[in-house]
Amino acid sequence: MIRCSQEWLEPVYWRIHEKLLECGLLHMDETRIQCNKEEGKLPGSESFMWVMRSAASEEIQAAFFFYSRSRSGENARKLLKSFDGYLITDAYSGYDTVPDIKRSLCWSHVRRYFIESIPLDTKSDRTGGSAAP
């Protein structure tokens, strides 16, 4: 199974990545994950899953997942090496290391700060007249 995956599926995986880099607009994020049985890492230590996704306006609709032991901006630089379009992300500074991209911030992340700035009513989870959670 491993050999079959390496020979037949891995080239498809990297082709998806290649096609995503041809897009004009991508979304990207890195998410903490925990791998308990990884050689050279303590159980419970954090690793990261980097996710790259084409925008709804793009002809190709695909997602690419890349596991990394760190959140280093070097991962972003490697994954986006030949990309020169617009990249929608959170405000993580690791993306600043990528040359030739046009940074755009994700409205979901921006909205989160507005919601957090609204004081909550002490009797409920909502402020009167507000849709804030």
Q: Which pLDDT score, from 0 to 100, does residue 21 have?
A: 97
Strands 25-34 and 46-54, by their bridges, are antiparallel
User: How far apart, in whole angstroms, are the C-alpha atoms of residue 11 and residue 19?
Assistant: 12
pTM: 0.77
Picking from 89, 110, 108, 107, the residue whose alpha carbon sits closest to that of residue 98 is: 89
CB environment 45-66: b (16+ within 10 A), e (fewer): eebbebebbbeeebeeeeebeb
Whose tokens are 């079959």? That residue is: 4
At 50, list the tokens. Answer: 């980097």
pLDDT tens per residue across span 58-87:
999 999 999 998 899 999 999 999 999 999
**pLDDT for 42:** 81
pLDDT tens digits, residue range 90-130? Answer: 888 899 989 989 998 877 766 766 777 777 665 555 555 55
